[in-house]
Amino acid sequence: MARLSEHGLRRSVGVSGLFATAYGNVGSSIYYALGLVAGYALGLTPVVFMFAGGLFVLTAKTYAEGASMHPEAGGSSSFARHAFNDVVSFFAGWALSLDYIITIAISAFFVPHYLGAFFPSLTHNPGDIIGGLITIVLLAALNIRGLGESARLNLFLAVADLCTQVLLVGLGFVLVLNPSLLLNQVHLGVAPTWTRLIFALSVAMVAYTGIETVSNMAEEARDPGHDIPKAVNMVLIAVLGVYAGISVVALSALPVVQHGHQYVTQLGTTFENDPVLGIVSRLGLHGTLLEVAKDYVGILAATILFIATNAGLIGISRLSWSLSEHRQLPSIFSRLHPTFRTPWFTIVFFSILAGLLIIPGETTLLGNLYSFGAMLSFTTAHVSVIALRIKDPDRERPYRMPWNVRIRGYSIPMTAVLGAIGTFAAWCAVVALHHEARTIGIPWMLLGMAGYFYYRKRQGLDPREHHKIPHPERPPDFEELEYRTALVPIFGNDVSATALSSAAKLIGEEGVVYAMYVLPVPSQLSLESGLEEEEAHGRSVLESARIQARRAGIKIHTGLIRTRNPGAALVEEAERVGSDVIYWSTLHAPAGEQRIGPTATYLLSKRPCRIIIETENRPASPTERVPAPV
């Protein structure tokens, strides 16, 4: 993990972590998007997904350039802030907030449908509504208590999900693929009609929910300029391949049939709410093998959708935090819980809104509303990145979109131009064809913009100007680490002088002790913002450590680390300074870190050097000495 020395931050996510998180969010959409789109597109479902995928490719390229240039939370809202002003920024952010609410609602609503493989009552009302609401309430409570995202779990689930989907495509090609059937079930203008085809095209972008994840993860990427574009390209290849393969297999397993004067597919009727389970049930498997396959897909899909719901809650927390930090939302949206230090109001507020959208039990409503907010947000992102090429042409761009054309001396990315035209046209289609967009989406935007102007007026702030909540400046960085030394982690409210003395004895009189205060940042907050009180407290603890050490004649340097993974941050610090020993006293550590907690377990598993852990009774036996890496 690279170190940002100016803030002591730990950017710990590499390409695999970015891919896992993004694919976990985007790839999860197949479990509900397939049924939503197939009900309208019928035999042209694969074509519709590929057309929407083209817009997704253009949009992903735009986000890759924007996020590598401005690696901060906020996505299209952040791009618009740099390109235009705070009015446009809030407009994009408010549209994006609707997307996150829909992501939470639609992912949670489909969790019980896939658990219906075990409990059939969850596949219909009221079981699915109650199950979706319970999912939201449970995750909201866990997020308030500080539930984070596990990079390892995300990677495991993303790989398992991708392998399962590839296996499903492979089995489908062998067992049910019928090319002539695929062609014969298309009657353009009739099945589907032109109106339903356009309707399906406007819904299909729900298949690519989660692209904003790339932007939110940018602030944690080790090397945003390199890692983000690479992860985006990997996601593009995986997602487009999976959607193409699964939609073809689905229409071979559940083809379009004529009932009277209507053409339907069971993907959009019987299996509308669990289309992947529908495919599995029509692959020709029998007996125990069929039951095992359905149970496996049910568990995996429910787990993936559960994680996607949690990602939506984390995403809306970071977005609202960013908007509040820039004084675009009232400060209550950045208020932290007094005990758990998480944005409890934001989590509760947006969870309630997501729950209200689940109560009608209409998946079409959720899909249509997502397309409304997403197309606005994506269009703003495209236009903002184009504007930045004109407004700030000399800024370093670690990644530049392909196909650039010189217009009046400026390099204009035609991929973003086409993306803006395509997403705006899709938004117009959503507004024209979906009454939910007109009755809920447009009032949502009008209400938000009115609230924004009212809030800025009450605060006496120009709505167009950029304003940010002032925070005290951080003191200059601590001295650069140079020597082989002892590392003493500090987490709690105090530091034991005994721990410093014990560490000093291990390295001798000429050695240096480094006391590192570790400030864990909840996943719901931006890595770079907030927790000012906690950081000030940490520096006060470090000052106390310096005083105690100097009185005891110990050479000491201090530092503060903001991180999402304390164990990984300490391992990196130990390797970077060539530490001979990590001496950790758990006497004043948080309850979860006393004795052998998760951070101690991580240190013992990695062992970058000698590890000694002092518990309540006595120091634990030192681990076997492992040479520090060169």
Domain range annotation of the chain: 15-459, 486-614
Nearest-angstrom CA–CA distance, 132 and 138 = 10
In the block, residue with structure tokens 């927790």: 531
Return the CATH number of 15-459, one of 3.40.50.1100, 1.10.760.10, 1.20.1740.10, 1.10.10.10.
1.20.1740.10
Query: How high is the pLDDT of residue 254?
Result: 92
pLDDT tens, position by position, 200-222: 887 887 777 666 766 666 666 67
E-only strand ranges, 7-85: 9-11
Tell me the backbone φ, ψ of residue 190, rounded to 5 degrees. Answer: -120, -50
Whether the per-residue pLDDT at 198 is higher than 90: the answer is: no
Q: Indicate whether 373 pLDDT > 80.
A: yes
Query: To which H or E segment does residue 38 belong?
Result: helix 30-41
Q: Confidence class of residue 446 from pLDDT cuts 50, 70 and 90?
A: very high
Cα(446)–Cα(255) distance, integer angstroms: 42
Mean pLDDT, the chain, whole residue set: 83
Task: Tell me which of 505 and 252 has the higher pLDDT.
Answer: 252
Query: What global pTM score does this model have?
Result: 0.78
- Could you give the percent of the chain with pLDDT greater than 70? 87
pLDDT at 591: 67
Span of 32-46, 288-302, 596-610 with lowest mean pLDDT: 596-610
Q: Using CB atoms within 10 A of its CB, is residue 447 exposed (0-12), middle (13-18) or buried (19+)? A: exposed
Residue 560's pLDDT band, with cuts at 50, 70 and 90, is confident
Give the model's confidence band at 424: pLDDT under 50 very low, under 70 low, under 90 confident, else very high.
very high
- pLDDT band, residue 515 (cuts 50/70/90): confident
Res. 496: pLDDT tops 80: no
Contacts 24+ apart (CB under 8 A), 461-467: 461/327, 463/86, 463/87, 464/85, 464/86, 464/87, 465/85, 465/86, 466/81, 466/85, 466/86, 466/326, 467/86, 467/326, 467/327
Question: Is the model's pLDDT at 354 over the cut of 60?
Answer: yes
pLDDT at residue number 421: 95
Residues 565-621 pLDDT 10s: 888 888 888 887 778 888 877 776 666 676 677 788 888 888 888 888 877 654 444
- Between 619 and 513, name the one with better pLDDT: 513
Banded model confidence at residue 273, pLDDT cuts 50, 70, 90: confident
**The pLDDT of residue 477 is above 50:** no
Looking up tokens 């005994």 gives 498
- Output the pLDDT for position 87: 95
Residue 248 pLDDT > 50: yes
Percent of the chain exceeding pLDDT 90 equals 29
pLDDT band at 420 (very low <50, low <70, confident <90, very high): very high
Strands (DSSP E) found in 409-534? 410-413, 486-490, 513-520
Lowest-pLDDT range of 23-27, 60-64, 556-560: 23-27
In contact, 620 and 613? CB cutoff 8 Å: yes
Question: Higher pLDDT residue, 411 or 368?
Answer: 411
**According to the model, what pLDDT value does residue 247 have?**
92
Q: What is the pLDDT of residue 434?
A: 81
DSSP states along 329-387: S-GGGGPPPTTT-S-HHHHHHHHHHHHHHHTT--HHHHHHHHHHHHHHHHHHHHHHHHH
* DSSP assignment string, 199-218: HHHHHGGGGGTTTHHHHHHH
pLDDT at 82: 92
Q: Which residues contact 360 (CB under 8 A, 6 or more apart)?
A: none
Q: 317 and 524 in contact (C-beta within 8 Å)?
A: yes
Give mean pLDDT, residues 232-246: 86
* Residue 575 token pair: 């390797």
What pLDDT, on the 0 to 100 scale, is given for residue 494? 60
Across 479-483, average pLDDT: 42
Name which CATH class applies to 486-614.
Answer: alpha beta
How much is the pLDDT for 237? 87
